[in-house]
Structure 1
Amino acid sequence: MIRGLILFYLNIKPTHGYEIQKFLQMSGSDQWAKIQSGSIYYALTKLEKEKFIEVHKEERTGSRVRKIYQITESGIEEMRRELKEELAKPIANVGSFKFMTYPITGTLSKEEMKVITRAHIKDLEEQLTYWTKWKDIKTKEENRDLEYLSFRMTINSLNDQIEWHKELLNHMDQYIALGESAKTYIRSNDFSEISDEMMDTNGDDRLQYLEKLKGEILKDPDNAVQNIDKIIDELKKQRK
């Protein structure tokens, strides 16, 4: 991401890293695109080594020498490649390790999870305040352009994340029980013995199986292993 942005900027005019950094800060792009200022200078050094940019001239400001970079012909090609790659990427990642839940709830103590989750909710709420403020400044409800949609998408995501973590916080005992049952199930089974035929299910079958699995664990954690074994036996019979 940062490489494409630097090359884009240098394709407009030769400049130095500090100007690019100030532009990102002024426009808010350092927050919106999650770009750290230190990464700009690292990327400039790397791009120069790769000969995608070169030193146009050097300027002295007091005791410091500032390098002014310009893009090369190969850099223009690299810029186009980087930007095509960025356009093809999803805006937000789909899926998260947290969605598995049980490795976390089956390992960390209740107090640890409470402290971490509360702190994370506070951080998410601060981000939500920031993004909501800037949405109100920069966009109008009647405008359905990309800028408005970008703000709405981010704000909706933050609200969803806050709700997810509050659910974990409010029903932590339930999810701790799920984590413990998952550990018992893993301890009691050798998954390498599950046949390829059993694993070769379509998406709907697998989803139904997982939902039933989760339901049995939550309903009766103490007998989760026995109940899950029954589900597997039922699945085997259905495949005969």
Structure 2
Amino acid sequence: MDKGGAHLVQLLILYYLSLKSTHGYEIQKFIQLNHMEEWNSIQSGSIYYAMSKLETEGLIKLVGKVGGNEKSKKIYEITEAGRYKLSEMAFHELEKPLSNISSEKFLIYPIIANLTKQEITITIDSHVSDLQNKLVQISEWYEKKQGKVTNIEKASFKLMRETVQNQIDWHRSLLDSLDETISAVSEITAIIKMVDFSAADDCKMFHNE
């Protein structure tokens, strides 16, 4: 798994444990039921390694076990250090560019769930400002090259400009629909708190069949 995927797994675990104490199998099933592996760099099989690492770092702690001796599951809860780390990671993700179709930022609910509306707005406004400055720099570079631009440089300029503009548009859309997004995050949070995903049926949970 790449570093982005490992980072996202840790973020998701901390987010999940900030809502309730549970075992790795439930988080693994949550990932599988939402088909995250199909469109993101996250992998359900990496949950246990990530949880061991987070425990070693003091971000989560073991609080008990459930089940029989051979099939017992370790129950973890987030620590205060873990909650601080979760907020730190959330800010970091909001400040990152959208790198590709599997960008962590598309998994928005664990990122913004522990931030206030004001914190989200300030962080995104700052990031959009940085992107706008980047757009100016790209345009200035192109203007300096006028008359000496190869076809591949023209194509590169077009791609860079469109990429940065698309990122600006995405972040502005998030700000424009922030209340709606926060409401959706609250609904997802409530579902996670109520549902034991380790016992959930894929079809019954996510399809009207």
Bigger relative contact order (CA 8 A; separation at least 6): 2
TM-score normalised over the length of structure 1: 0.41
TM-score normalised over the length of structure 2: 0.47
Larger radius of gyration: 1
